[in-house]
Amino acid sequence: MTVLVTGAAGGVGRLLAPRLAEEFDLVLTDQVAAPGVIIGDLTDPGFRSEVLTGVDAVVHLAGDADPEHDWSRLRVPNADLVAGLLDAAVAAGVGRVVLASSAHAMAGHVDAGRIPVREDWPPSPCCQYGAVKVFAEALGRAYAASWGLRVICLRLGGVRERPVARSWLPGWLSPGDLGRLVGAALRADVEFGTYHGMSANTGSHWDLSRARAELGYVPLDDSIRYAGDVPDDLVAEPDPRARPRLGLAHRS
């Protein structure tokens, strides 16, 4: 299977690509340079069609990953671009798109103390970033229902080599489990679905039952091994408008 990875020069893409490369033929793209990456702006329809030619599946990571940003900054990379990519995927005959959603789409449940958050609960975004991710998921559902594209939305937790602070422990997604999750999403016999993407963390706020059952995701890592030496979080900003900045780190 030939898989196009967008946003391949970003933090998640750099951790994911070497793991996916063990099983899939990869085409990497980003608007910034990195080894093996085809450089281009995916908001350009011509470039989109070019990189989608001959591709079986897309892992779409390109976008604005900052939970602090508001609609004015998120609209093009996280809404318009997803719509354009799904359109171009259908036109190019691509069979499957894996969308990088975020735990922020469901983090309102955590804020309200409803944990562990189940995947079959309605979305509850904590911020504009989370709300735009929910919109992208809804677009994916429409393309699955009306155009027969398989769309798998992964509500990723905090992806880093290791948790960066204590509050990251419940929602951490290790690089190894990231590879296992996205690989499972590329193989699964699923038309459309939304799934949590975290490691098997002790005390997790995130239920993974649906990802395990429908995708066959088997997480192997647990953030508890870092609990003894992970730093405490910085003190929260007093300005409530700064709340989304804490984003996933605050609530995962």
Q: Does 86 bind ligand NAD (CB under 6 A)?
A: no
Q: Does 158 bind ligand NAD (CB under 6 A)?
A: yes
Q: Does 41 bind ligand NAD (CB under 6 A)?
A: yes
Cβ proximity to ligand NAD: between 150 and 158 the closer is 158
What is the rounded CA–CA span in Å between residue 112 and residue 24?
Answer: 40
What is the rounded CA–CA span in Å between residue 118 and residue 121?
Answer: 6
What is the rounded CA–CA span in Å between residue 147 and residue 191?
Answer: 11
What is the rounded CA–CA span in Å between residue 242 and residue 16?
Answer: 30
H or E, element range at 18: helix 11-20
- Which token pair is 216? 């066959």
Distance in angstroms between the alpha carbons of the first and the last residue of the chain: 33
Residues 6 or more apart in contact with residue 93 via CB below 8 angstroms? none
78 close to 140: Cβ distance less than 8 angstroms: no
Closest separation between CB of residue 238 and ligand NAD, Å? 25
Binding mask 64-83 for ligand NAD (x = CB under 6 A): -x-----------x---x--
Cβ proximity to ligand NAD: between 136 and 189 the closer is 136
Q: Does 62 bind ligand NAD (CB under 6 A)?
A: yes
Sort 229 into a burial class: Cβ within 10 Å, 0-12 / 13-18 / 19+: exposed
Sort 81 into a burial class: Cβ within 10 Å, 0-12 / 13-18 / 19+: buried
The site that binds ligand NAD (CB under 6 A) totals a number of residues, namely 23
Closest separation between CB of residue 143 and ligand NAD, Å? 17
What is the rounded CA–CA span in Å between residue 117 and residue 134?
Answer: 16
Q: Does 167 bind ligand NAD (CB under 6 A)?
A: no
Interface residue with ligand NAD, options 3, 4, 5, 13 (CB under 6 A): 13
Cβ proximity to ligand NAD: between 181 and 188 the closer is 181
Closest separation between CB of residue 6 and ligand NAD, Å? 6
Q: Does 32 bind ligand NAD (CB under 6 A)?
A: yes
Interface residue with ligand NAD, options 61, 85, 178, 182 (CB under 6 A): 61
Cβ proximity to ligand NAD: between 100 and 211 the closer is 100
Residue with smallest beta-carbon separation from ligand NAD: 10
With CA atoms as reference, report the closest residue to 108 among 120, 122, 121, 126: 126
Interface residue with ligand NAD, options 100, 117, 132, 182 (CB under 6 A): 100
Interface residue with ligand NAD, options 4, 85, 94, 156 (CB under 6 A): 156
For ligand NAD, the binding residues (CB under 6 A) are: 7, 9-13, 30-32, 41-43, 61-63, 65, 77, 81, 100, 102, 156, 158-159
